[in-house]
Structure 1
Amino acid sequence: MLGCDEVVATTVRDARAGVAAGWPEWLAAESVQRIAAAGITAPWSHQGEFAELLFGGKHAIISTPTGSGKSLGYLLPIIAATVDQTVGVTVDSVRSRVTAPRHTALYLAPTKALAHDQARAAAALGPTGWRVATLDGDSDAAERRFAREHASFILTNPDMLHFSVLPNHERWASFLGSLRYIVVDEAHRYQGVFGAHVAQVIRRLRRVASLHGADPVVALSSATMPNADEFAGALIGEDAVRVVSQDGSPAGRRTVALWRPSVSLRTDTARLLAGLSDTGVQTIAFVASRQGAELVSVAAQERAVEPRRIASYRGGYLAADRRALEAALHSGDLCGLASTNALELGVDIAGMDAVLVSGFPGRIASFWQQAGRAGRRGQDALVVLLASENPLDAYLLEHPELLGESSIERAILHPENARVLGLHLAAAAQESPLTSADECWFGPATTATACALVEQGVLRDRRGRYYWTRPDRAVDFINLRSMGQRPLDIIEHETGRVLGVVDAVAADRTVHPGAVYLHQGESFLVEALDAEENQALVVASRPHYYTQAQSIFDIQILAEAGRKPLGGTKICHGQVRLDTQVLGYLRRDEVTHDVWDSTPMEMSARRMGTQAVWWTVPAHLVRRLGWPDARTGAALHAMEHTAIGLLPAFAPCDRWDIGGVSTALHPDTGLPTVFVHDGLEGGAGFAARGFEVADGWLRATLERLVRCSCADGCPSCVVSPKCGNANQVLSKPDAAELLALLLD
């Protein structure tokens, strides 16, 4: 396979031996024996270092590559605290064992699947009868009661902690009052607005634990990141967080290949997935979208000798479907899987030999997370990045050195997001009245924000104590994973079966009337979208096309936060208001992607406040060029698309996290202007990062415009899969000429 014409570059990392450490003195002999019986003869050096820091009471983050066994590092002190119930004490050089108070530990994962996977791993290492429980939206009443009243180690997610545990913390007093450790797994996932929400949930958790008499140590586990200490401190609200980053685990030989598809990205991905699966190479193909994962799975099944051994996996599946797929992977019944990044996290899938990354996932860190799904047992691993037709993938084919692990992006988190902070202070006030002393948890803006909430009628001030006085729950106004409403159910009309869910803010684009919805290889047509009932009704159908929404955008500058020179112009960033509306949709052939037709719709307009970076064309340059507005607009539109496509090479986002608007004359600047904005309410920090790295980012944009071999524009430079007006009115040559002049 590696000798194919499609392979444009390969890199090989040789196998390496591990560096072992000794078992901690504070871990009971019985626990050591149990862990050894599970096949672990000794911890690796990074696991031992992490465990010692945590047991010594230090907040710490372990930031090592995927598959390095980070879990054991935090499980050792948790087992010592919650199982052994004794600790080693040295008095006058004599070591003795004394009974310790009861301790508990809480584990947070960004997904249910990861929490259940880690619960299985913990149960395999701990003694029989160790009281380990998972707690999530799928837990029934008996499981929740056992977790609350009996469990020593609970594995859950931020959503469950936010909606269920913290508002009812008095019922959890015994568990929270004895909380010794908090584990934040896959911490790098908590970026942007989601990260800001989780940062405030962690602060609320630590505050409530303190109210019940506990001062837990926070253990964070993350993929490799260059600013692990800074990021971890921002996430948990601490200045001093220790970092363990030197990986001591062994690794097999790993080959990474860059693949330029000869037919299409989807076809080549399906062909490789089927071929590898048929030869017994257990393979995951990571596909960017839910729809894409379903289509790759269907195409691979059609090519495979044993189609039943290939399936799809994505977010939005119901719990029973997820569990069945995960079990089939563990058992080996499934040999090929087309997945979204729902399996990018540390779910320990044994025996995976190869990973296909179908289109660059937007971040180098995400690429290595996905690549790390193969070779987790030390065997040789194959990783293939199949380039999609977008500017960033084309840029990486020309610069494969940028995929090195040393190029992993800095993690971005802004927990002080005013909109997020206000919501969580209201929730904290309902949990226990706020005072100025709570600045130690929520920062110096606590009192001022609480006073603003009083003025808005959200809180009541009683002599410097701020109370929630409404009859409803504050947490019900907060969706951690978006700033909008609760997700919509997708329901099969004839049977009433709930197929999955979709975010309310994405419903207009994905489940509008007439849209094609895919689920586990089945396709459905959307009959109706009922926002008031939070549901979309669908019927089974195989129409042989897919749909793409068409939208219009308008943007207004609310406040400028920064400005600096950029070549012959200036670049700014700040707060903006974005108005969007879906006006129709395209039907596109599922094989050729050709547009069949366009259907108009009348959908409600949506308004969002967010952050943006923008640059203008100076008036003297407009006069010099003498272009009509239509030509200038086409150049700016093409420039905007390419810039959006390349920002993920410089900021930890992908093109679906950001958006853009360009115009030949913007009323707020009085000039031709290009905006690139965060795609989430309140902003996520990506546009601000674009402002910081603007020179390198826009020079790379110019390079892509100039070096792309097409004549008039293609998906590798200016054609965008997410363009709201179907890539009409684009001029690649004029975009290159104009950007070259702007950069001087």
Structure 2
Amino acid sequence: MSPEPPAAPPPARDLTALLETIGARDGRLVHLERTPARPARHADWPSWADPALVAALAASGIPRPWTHQAQAANSLHAGHHTVIATGTGSGKSLAAWLPAVSDILSAQRAAHAEGTSHRISAHGRRPTALYLAPTKALAADQAAALDRLSARIEAVQAGVAGAPRLTLRSSTCDGDTPLPERDWARAHADIVLTNPDFLHFSLLPGHERWARLLRSLRYIIVDECHAYRGVIGAHVALVLRRLLRLARRLSPGSPGPTVLAASATAAEPALTAARLIGAPPADVVAITDDGAPAGERALALWQPALIDPWGVGPADSTAAPDPGTTDTPGAPNPPSPRRSATAEASEVLVDLLSAGAQALVFVRSRRSAEIVAEHARRILTRSGPPLAGLADAVAAYRGGYLPEERRALETDLRQGRLRALATTNALELGIDVTGLDAVLIAGWPGTRVSLGQQAGRAGRAGSPGVAVLIASDNPLDAYLVHHPEDVLTAPEATVFDPTNPYVLAPHLCAAASESPLREVDLDLFGLPDESLLADLAERGALRRRPTGWFWNAALPGRPQDLTNLRGDGPPEIPIVESTSGTVIGTAPGASADSSLHAGAVYMHQGRAYVVEELTEEAAIVTPRLAVGYRTRARERSSVRILAERHAEAWGDGLTWSLGSVEVTSQVTGYNKLALPHMDVVSQHPLDMPERVLPTAAVWWTIPLETCEAAGVTPARLPGALHAAEHASIGILPLLATCDRWDIGGLSTALHPQTMRPTVFVHDGAAGGAGFAERGHRAGARWLEATLDVITQCRCATGCPSCIQSPKCGNNNEPLDKAGAIALLRLLARAARSARSALPTP
């Protein structure tokens, strides 16, 4: 049940001044960046815009478009692929709907004039449009906006004597849509709103039933295109290429659909959009000059205070030696010398709520969303009236909730019944929430792209807003709050590789089943020749015929089921309550071994459950009233080099390499950690299967004698390598569009293939996602930044702000901070020398 609305809070005070006041405590406010307000710049409606649509938009409070909306709409209407990259809340969707809806209405006017029910046009029929969103929530939000627009169009026409009745038929289609509604969409919808998953698994394999939509497809709108990065970016790019290929074949002689990509934070927008649709960048028009008004914005960089400010000193090493160590997904951070970002966010949130603000708190994990909401409610309850009345207006929002739970929370936030939500990035891209005063970001969100999206949720619709980036105990966070120039620079380029054979091969099979592959399709899919198709034929997946490459229909199953757009790991795991059999949520299958093993503690809406059993079908959990501990998995891993694609020999015998590797990992047990300080109280073994991941990695080796010459003895070497590995993983997101959960690593004092001390950093996706490759190219800067963050950290022997990792499979043992500094100095010096030796271009 939704909470009752609290007593009306006072109008939000000057939140920037409030942050400056509370940030003076212990020097937590490290930097404050103010962006002044800017006025709107308007343009005239295009001459081709349908008058009923223009009148309906005026009735909804849009008398004229902003300049970027008119520019993008004109480009799209003229048949140019277009990307619009303007700020959050700048009305990018209007640029798409203006030409799409105008064409739909114009076709109806022409049909009415001719006395026919259909208009035969250059595109064959009454035009259609397809809208793709990365989340169901965003598609549902756009569908609601189109419904309101349709009603206004009909109301406008009803007031014009003799005017034809104009209709705008839109429908949402995704995995939750009932079959009768899908049937209606196939038969009647002018605009279908969906997501790439539905496109891949349902619409494209069943394209014969969607022929009306595809033959008339005039526009494809790809919203929040920057969200498609890494492996999911490669998958979505190939799905879009399959869609464009089918639509062109179903409408021979037509130019095919025109694509509008939209993003608030895309770097190199034309290149990103072009790579998504398989077109040359020169064929994509980029609109980047934002004409929307903006209120004053403030971004605060915030570092929680030291818990024990007197317990710090110079770096030293006391770590004991240990065998090769790994960095793999785990659980909460070990104890920290600073307050946690989640605890800090909870308290700052209460300060903002007391000033009348409505706010979001973005966190990095599902568990953290529950913790922040519960902590804030507890503080409010203990504060007494009137703040205690706000406790029921704070909630958590995250993936894994059932759809009806998420919709209810979204509605309550829009209508003001909820004053704060602690959320994962599930709300980074999603519902259009206006009126938010503040956003707290507990921990670096992984990329400047995500930072812009999350911070942009505050101060939408031209109102002032504040955002606070609260540093977590993470090497990158510690580095960034003290280097605002790296936070405020342009967003990262979106990294994805559609030619990754692990991603491309199943999409080629799917494409061949939808329409035979021909030589003309090679460029669209980034194939230099037919060798991959021939390999698939040799494996029995495809069959070569004179008219092209066909899917081998004798094989069981569908080719679309060979891959999952969200990654090739296991599907989502339902979480089932043992006493009632109710599904209370879901969790990613890829992390089930480490988070849903037998004995694990699972949190949901503030309630604790203990996992009784994990199978391939579900995790069975039992509710517990009071669980005074949490759990963290223990893992072990190994890395085998399959092929070294690039190697550089640096000074002092160091090497810097990139190549294909095979990572084998296994959950071997778990620890129970007592609340609140997460001290290990017991260890428990587990018998879990090994998981093998073929991927890409960057690695460096260093001769043992070079280590000893730098003062790192064989006894200290494992800890020094391990610490350097952790810090490197933490800093790589500064250079690539990823976060530390997208990558992993391993360090060993003697690797069986290199026969040297070696550190690997690898992509966490099959075949690689481009992150290791980006790190390899930026080696010198990566190593310098890694060294910088360790040397500037005030801790004595290592902490989560420099060398400890929240995902370490070896419980952050051994670690040698001073040894890592010595090794990284050698590496950084060698990288600088190698770079300076390169010929000047």
Match of 1:226 in 2: 267
* Conserved 8 A contact 1:438-1:446: no
Match status 1:537 vs 2:620: yes
Structure with the bigger RCO (C-alpha within 8 Å, sep 6+) is 2
Question: SS at 2:460's partner residue?
Answer: coil
Residues 38, 44 of structure 1: CA spacing in aligned structure 2 closer, same or farther, 3 A cutoff?
same
Report what 2:483 is aligned to: 399
Indicate if the aligned counterparts of 2:707 and 2:823 stay in contact, CA closer than 8 A.
no
Q: How does 1:401-420 map to 2 (within 5 A)?
A: 401-404=485-488, 406-420=489-503
Match of 2:590 among 496, 505, 520: 505
Whether 1:290 and 2:360 are equivalent positions in the alignment is no
Q: Which residue of the partner structure matches residue 287 of structure 2?
A: 244
Instruction: Report the AA paired with residue 35 of structure 2.
Output: R
The alpha-carbon deviation at position 484 of structure 1 amounts to 2.0
Shift of 1:471: 4.0
Higher mean alpha-carbon deviation, 292-301 vs 444-453, is at 444-453
Q: Give the 5 Å matches for 1:84-483.
A: 84-85=106-107, 101-126=125-150, 127-128=153-154, 129-213=167-251, 215-239=256-280, 240-262=283-305, 263-304=339-380, 305=388, 306-404=390-488, 406-445=489-528, 447-463=530-546, 465-468=548-551, 469=553, 470-483=555-568
Q: Deviations over 1:354-399 (max 9, x none)?
A: 0000011111111111000111121110111111111111111211
| Distance in 1 of aligned mates of 2:547 and 2:755 | 47
Deviations 1:468-491 (A, max 9, x none): 222421111211101123221111
1:546-587 deviation line (CA, Å, top 9, x unaligned)? 221111010011111222355642311111100000011122
Structure 1 partner of 2:600:
515
Which range is displaced more, 462-471 or 236-245? 462-471
Letter in 2 for 1:147: A
Is the radius of gyration larger for structure 1 or structure 2? 2
Does residue 36 of the first structure (1) align with residue 58 of the second (2)?
yes
SS in 1 for 2:367: helix
Q: CA deviation at 1:132?
A: 1.0
Is the contact between residue 400 and residue 586 of structure 2 (CA under 8 Å) also seen in structure 1?
yes
- 1:304-350 per-position Cα deviation (integer Å, ceiling 9, x unaligned): 22211111111121111111111111111111000000000152112
Partner of 2:100: 78
Residue 334 (structure 2) aligns with: none
Residue 449 of structure 1 deviates from its aligned partner by: 1.8
On the 8 A contact 1:587/1:595 being kept in 2, the answer is yes
Q: Provide the residue aligned with 2:703 in structure 1.
A: 618
Q: Which amino acid aligns with 1:325?
A: L
For residues 668 and 85 of structure 1, the distance between their equivalents in structure 2, rounded to whole angstroms, comes to 67
Does structure 2 conserve the Cα–Cα contact (< 8 Å) formed by 1:80 and 1:86? no
Moved more, 232-241 or 300-309: 300-309
What SS does the corresponding residue of 1:377 show, helix, strand or coil? helix
Secondary structure of 1:560's match? strand
| Cα distance in structure 2, aligned partners of 1:336 and 1:545 | 27
Question: Matched residues in 2 for 1:522 and 1:679: separation?
Answer: 31
Deviations 1:51-74 (A, max 9, x none): 111000000111122222211111
Partner of 1:638: 723
Cα distance between partner residues in 2 of 1:678 and 1:496: 37
Cα deviation code 1:397-419 (max 9, x no counterpart): 21122211x33111112111111
| Comparing 698-707 and 612-621, the one that deviates more | 612-621
Displacement, 1:256?
1.2
Aligned length: 733
Per-residue deviation, 1:600: 1.5
Is the 2:725–2:745 contact (alpha carbons within 8 Å) kept by the matching residues of 1?
A: yes
Residue type of the alignment partner of 1:329:
L
Contact 2:68 2:289 in 1 (8 A): yes
Structure 2 gap segments, 5+ residues each: 1-17, 111-118, 155-166, 306-338, 381-387, 830-841
In 2, Cα distance between the equivalents of 1:444 and 1:56? 30
1:99 offset after TM fit, Å?
A: 7.4
Cα shift at 1:436? 1.7
Could you tell me how far apart the structure 2 residues matched to 1:317 and 1:565 are?
Answer: 50
CA contact 1:482–1:680 (8 Å) conserved in 2: yes
In the superposition, relative to structure 1, how do residues 99 and 169 fare at CA in structure 2: closer, same or farther (>3 Å)? closer
- Of 628, 640, 656, the residue aligned with 1:556 is 640
**Under a length normalisation based on structure 1, what TM-score does the superposition of the two structures give?**
0.96
Structure 2 equivalent of residue 93 of structure 1:
none
SS at match of 1:684: coil
Check whether the contact 2:396–2:422 (CA below 8 A) recurs between aligned residues.
yes
**Residues 566 and 743 of structure 1 are in contact (CA less than 8 Å); yes or no, is this contact kept in structure 2?**
no
| Aligned mates of 2:228, 2:660 — CA distance in 1 | 22
Letter in 2 for 1:166: L
Distance 2:474 2:659 in 1: 27
Give the share of equivalent positions with the same residue, in percent.
47
Query: Which segment is superposed worse, 563-572 or 225-234?
Result: 563-572
User: Judging changes above 3 Å, is the alpha-carbon distance between structure 1 residues 595 and 608 closer, same or farther for their aligned structure 2 residues?
Assistant: same
Post-superposition offset of 1:200:
0.7
Distance 1:188 1:527 in 2: 39
What SS does the corresponding residue of 1:167 show, helix, strand or coil? coil
Alignment pair present for 1:676 and 2:761? yes
Match of 1:133, SS state, is strand
Q: 1:535 and 1:98 mapped to 2: Cα distance?
A: 52
Mapped partners of 1:161, 1:641: distance in 2: 39
Question: How big is each residue's C-alpha offset from its partner over 1:67-121, in whole Å with a ceiling of 9 and x where there is no partner?
Answer: 2221111111111122332699xxxxxxxx9977400000111110111011122
CA drift of 1:227 comes to 1.5
* 2-structure distance, mates of 1:84, 1:500: 46
- For residue 315 of structure 1, what is the amino acid of its counterpart? G
Aligned-partner Cα distance in 2 for 1:546–1:364: 31
TM-aligned CA deviation for residue 435 of structure 1: 2.0
CA distance in 1, matches of 2:787, 2:563: 41
Q: Does 2:14 correspond to 1:14?
A: no
Shift of 1:711: 0.8
- The answer to whether the Cα contact below 8 Å between 1:255 and 1:381 also exists between their aligned partners in 2 is yes
Change (3 A) 1:623 1:59: same
Residue 3 of structure 2 corresponds to residue 3 of structure 1: no
**Separation in structure 1 between the aligned mates of residue 673 and residue 75 of structure 2, nearest angstrom:** 55
Q: 1:280: Cα distance to partner?
A: 2.6
8 A Cα contact 1:434 1:466, kept in partner: yes
